Structure 1
């Protein structure tokens, strides 16, 4: 059992957004910080997206795409982490079933986020109804990804190490995805008002 506990500790380590360099400020990082204020988790948003500031260059479109890409990468990492849990010995039957269900919902989440990134790539020059159609797809898919992540967390009704490590991981991933959805919505609003930078 100690061996399993140690393995949980290793698996529970979150490899996510690195801390942004302190005191770093420029027009590009200022744009990221200002945009992140519209999310539910601004500090996490800034940590995740500051490293992309130079490529974002004040573009709402590129900011949204970077945010969804970060969310996709974290969702893939979480899905791989949960798949490893399913192969551990010593997990109770109910925990194992919850893990299997979580793998299914996270697979759906990864698919939705992958589709969102592809759709954001396709809509670079979209306008009018074409833009609205693409944007509706992105908003729906990122929202669905977030829902699936929350379903995964809620599936662990029993107390224990498995629930603790999965919940910790999924809270993090859900916060990143929530931020991505907020920035996608911000992009949509600013585009329709004609105040975005392409």
Structure 2
């Protein structure tokens, strides 16, 4: 009987410890929320990256890669939307030219973000000066993608429905890319300080 009481006490203690451990261990999204505070649009950042929480697992590298991947997907979607818009009839000549210019800048943006994702994949295997070279490429390309997105938004000088729908779409994409750039820069800084998690 005493042995049974001892085992029951042991099981209760272990269950209590497990529950306490669960309560004190950080949720997978806590790291994302803390990291997103360094961006210009934290709520959007958390919303976009929360689905990647179990993949990121507190890794600055995986967080940066997920952020750039989200930006790439949004840029591709926006580019496809604008391409369809360029093929519509009934758009005023100046608006049509602005849409065509936007197609060009968004093609460049998608290309830059694609290169950035590929470079971030390679960075899992590099360090030292090689890391700095790859990191510089990523920062440059994500920055270039953001510039192209902003150029697209500013290309519409005439007010109207076309300007409104494109601007609304591009503001969202630019915010997502701005967040990605902030997290890429955060990854670079933390890596140089040696406080990142691979």
Instruction: State TM-score, norm by structure 1.
Output: 0.87
Q: CA deviation at 1:27?
A: 2.8
CA distance in 1, matches of 2:114, 2:49: 18
Cα distance in 2 for partners of 1:31, 1:47 equals: 13
* Structure (1 or 2) with the larger CA radius of gyration: 2
Match of 2:126, SS state, is coil
Once the two structures are superposed, residues 133-177 of structure 1 have per-residue CA deviations (whole angstroms, 9 ceiling, x without a partner) of 000000000000000000000000000000000000000000000
Between Structure 1 and Structure 2, the one with more helix by share is 2
Where do residues 122-133 of structure 1 align in structure 2 (5 Å cutoff)? 122-133=122-133
Corresponding position of 2:51: 51
Q: Which residue of structure 2 aligns with residue 189 of structure 1?
A: 189
Q: Give the match for residue 178 of structure 1.
A: 178
Matches within 5 A, 1:1-198: 26-198=26-198
**Distance in 1 between residues matched to 2:31 and 2:47, nearest whole Å:** 13
Give the 3-state SS of the residue equivalent to 2:166 in structure 1.
helix
Cα deviation, residue 26, structure 1: 4.5
Following superposition, the deviation at residue 125 of structure 1 comes to 2.3
Deviations 1:106-147 (A, max 9, x none): 000000000000000001021110000000000000000000
User: How far apart are residue 88 of structure 1 and its match?
Assistant: 1.0
Deviations 1:33-89 (A, max 9, x none): 000000000000000001100000000000000000000000000000000101111
Match of 1:7 in 2: none
- Unaligned 5+ runs, structure 2: 1-24
Quote how far apart the aligned CAs of 1:30 are: 0.1
Measure, in 2, the Cα distance between the counterparts of 1:37 and 1:69.
19
Q: Secondary structure at the match of 1:123?
A: helix
